[in-house]
Amino acid sequence: MINGDQPLVDLSGADLTDTNLSGLDLSTVNPSGADLRGTNLSGADLSDANLSGADLRDVRRVDKNKLEGEARSLQGATMPDGSKHD
């Protein structure tokens, strides 16, 4: 992280539909509000990732427990099963 709070890479609002992000370190990435539908997150490091407002429908190879356990924020995100996270 730069300055403690700023992500190294800002992908907020990006269209990452069907992207293969497996095995990547996403801890320094800000994908808030990104369209991640159908994305492969297998083995990705989501620790401290800001996924607030992201569309995670049909995300492949990652479960809801991993997302909730690792991500810094899921507020307003659409979860893999289509439900909204509070």
Q: What is the pLDDT of residue 4?
A: 53
- Both structure tokens of 54: 């992201």
Q: With a cut of 60, say whether residue 3 has pLDDT above it.
A: no
> How many domains is the chain partitioned into structurally?
1
Query: What are the pLDDT digits (tens) for 65-80?
Result: 888 888 989 999 999 9
Query: What are the pLDDT digits (tens) for 29-68?
Result: 889 999 999 999 999 999 888 999 999 999 988 888 888 8
Q: pTM to 2 decimals?
A: 0.84
Long-range contacts of 53-61 (CB under 8 A, 24+ apart): 53/77, 54/78, 56/80, 57/82, 61/22
Q: Is residue 51 assigned to a domain? A: yes
Q: Which domain holds residue 20?
A: 1-81
Query: What are the pLDDT digits (tens) for 16-33?
Result: 999 999 999 988 888 999
Q: Is residue 86 assigned to a domain? A: no
Q: Is residue 36 assigned to a domain? A: yes
| CATH number of the domain that residue 3 is part of | 2.160.20.80
